[in-house]
Chain A
Amino acid sequence: MTSEGLRSQTILVVGGGIGGMTTAVEAAEAGYDVILLEKSATLGGRVAQLSRYFPKLCHPTCGLEINFQRIKKNRRIKVMTMTSVAGVEGTRGDYSVTVTTTPRHVKANCTACGDCGRAAESMVPSPFNYGMDTVKAAYLPHEMAFPQFYVVDPSVVGTPEGEKIAAACKIGAVDLAAKPETFQLTVGAIVWATGWQPYDPAKITTYGHGRVPNVITNVEMERLAAHDGPTHGKILRPSDGKEPKKVALIQCAGSRDNNHLAYCSRICCLASMKHAAYLREQYADAEVDIYYIDIRAHDKLEAFYRKIKADPQVNWIKSKPSRIEVAEDGGPMVCGENTLTREIYAKSYDLVVLATGMQSSVKAGAPAAEMDDYGFVVPHDGSAGIGSAGVASGPLDVSMTVQSATAAALRAIQAVSGVRNASEVS
């Protein structure tokens, strides 16, 4: 098959997180047209919600800035936010993709001046902070938001407040009448880069998230540590704003568990070590207990493990806790068996962080691609028109996601430029 047989050479990348952005820029910078779809209001995905990366403890926003600039400066990339895929038909070189957009209620001529936000009065849970705090009903999702457009929450549409918000915009960018739209895209290749969602901690009933005070998840911990999070970067326990001095970090909250996620989510061990570092950086007297089954600090990340291990105030307990209960002081109490000492423990903490795993965001049946039983899209070589990148293809850390996304860009290029088949090479 050669390129003549292909109707479109445009590459559709579904998902605008670090994986999707990487696939998009890598392909575009090699000279291909790319449509980058993102379901939410801004690009950046999960990494934009992280405070820092392991093992360098650097800020994801640093790399995001570079990627955003690469996208802004590249005319080959068309970004569509608030858009998701409803259906895919066709074959390599000629896919017809049905996409739907949900209204942002703010048009693309928004300058992010903030007038609408100042006019808004009601508060809505902040999606960026996982609902741990609230934002005005007209808001910029976060300070790095790209595209830099405000969002008007649907709750104020049809209210006097909505009208007031719309009136505040001097350039008429607020569009309360916007409706969901459906349209078609014709593309030559599709890369699923839909990333992941944190496993719902409510399903792990024994760990008491939502029931026992001060039991939070690892992604919530990231927001507590972030300067633009609900506590402005100071890690405080949610119930009373107290500084947490005894903290438990619980691995495999959902992962490696046939009742929940049968696979290992790969990142949690390292992410928890990073959380230990966050806590120790803020509190000289903090004691951090890490509960684990196996510490999976693969390849060079072992060095980060060794570094955290050197801190005498970080303790390692080889145990999968059996349950979390409310202690007498009202805080969380972690119960289980220390498998190395055979001690049956019940330890009280100020804060418990569940290292919840990663779950594929791909909805079964949607992608018209080969999927495994876990919901991941199986990556393919360039002879297939549909591939996957990053966590859409399996549990990966950021570096491996970028690696996978760069590979997916190559496969997509091969797909739209017509891969030479084995028959042509012999």
Chain B
Amino acid sequence: MNAAPTPTRKYDLSFARYVYQNIDGGDRMAKCMQCGTCSGSCPLGDQMDYGPRKLFMMIRAGMKEAVLTSNTIWNCVSCYNCVVRCPRKVPVTYILHDLATLAVKEGYEQAKTAINARFAKAFWWSAARWGRTDERLVTAIYYFSFGLSQGMKMSLANLKIAQAMVKTKRMHLGMPHKIKNGGDLKAILAKAAEIQARDH
């Protein structure tokens, strides 16, 4: 599924224009002057393959594939350092998250296999279902998304921590706690999905 156009040459602006018009905060991305404040402010800056600044330049350069397969869009932890510091007030966080959504929509492999994509999926599953993140289930779903044997391996590696957490009541066994009025949450999420479907 191709939501966004795929440029055939460098600096074909079709993808950039799609981002400007369709990605949350994308219109303000146009004002990026490539100063580097965002990438330098990012606590995960050195673990991103490009960092937001370069990613924005790549969007302009029409490098859709590289952008949507980058780990940058998955590694944002929403600390908002970049957003408050950006001298051009570009909402970097929104843009990265919405680009991640686009990567999912377009079915990029990285959107399924990137570790943060996996984690995000597990996180969402728990949050949407229970209204909370259940540490045990989120971790389990995340670990086992790598396959059974890998999941077992990862679980065992962290067993001691899990036990300590249970002991100190940081993690509980049994049914996940639910929020009150779970139905309301469902309604909210349904409405959000409806808005998203309409706007995109």
Q: Which residues of A does B touch, CB under 8 Å?
A: 206, 252, 256-260, 293, 318-323, 335-339, 342, 344-345
Contact = CB atoms under 8 A, between A and B. Distances in A.
B39 A256 contact: no
A323 B53 CA distance: 16
A206 B81 CA distance: 10
Interface string B3-42: 0000000000000000000000000000001111111110
Nearest to A293: B35
B53 A339 contact: yes
Given A320-B37, A342-B50, A337 B45 contact: yes
A342 B54 contact: yes
A322 B87 contact: no
Nearest to A343: B46
Contact of B51 (A252, A323, A335, A337): A337
Nearest to B90: A258
Find the residue from A206, A293, A337, A338 having the highest chain B CB count within 10 A. A337
Contact of B37 (A322, A338, A342, A345): A322
Nearest to A338: B36
B129 interface: no
B177 interface: no
B186 interface: no
Interface string B56-89: 0000000000000000000000000100110111
A338 B34 CA distance: 10
Which 10 A-B pairs rank lowest in CB-CB distance, beginning with the nearest? A336-B40, A322-B40, A257-B87, A320-B35, A337-B39, A322-B41, A337-B40, A337-B36, A339-B36, A344-B46
The residue in B39, B51, B54 that gathers the most chain A C-beta atoms within 10 A of its C-beta is B39
A337 B87 contact: no
A206 B85 contact: yes
How many of chain B's residues touch chain A, expressed as a range?
Answer: 20 to 34
Contacts of A256: 33, 87
15 contacts: A258-B87, A293-B33, A318-B36, A319-B35, A321-B37, A322-B37, A322-B81, A335-B40, A336-B36, A337-B37, A337-B40, A337-B45, A339-B39, A344-B46, A345-B40
A257 B34 CA distance: 13
A336 B37 contact: yes
Contacts of B88: 258
Contacts of B33: 256, 293
B36 A319 contact: yes
Contacts of A293: 33-35
Which of B33, B36, B46 has the most chain A CB atoms closer than 10 A to its own CB?
A: B36
Contacts of B89: 258-259
A259 B41 contact: no
Interface string B78-107: 000100110111000000000000000000
B87 A320 contact: yes
Contacts of B36: 318-320, 322, 336-339
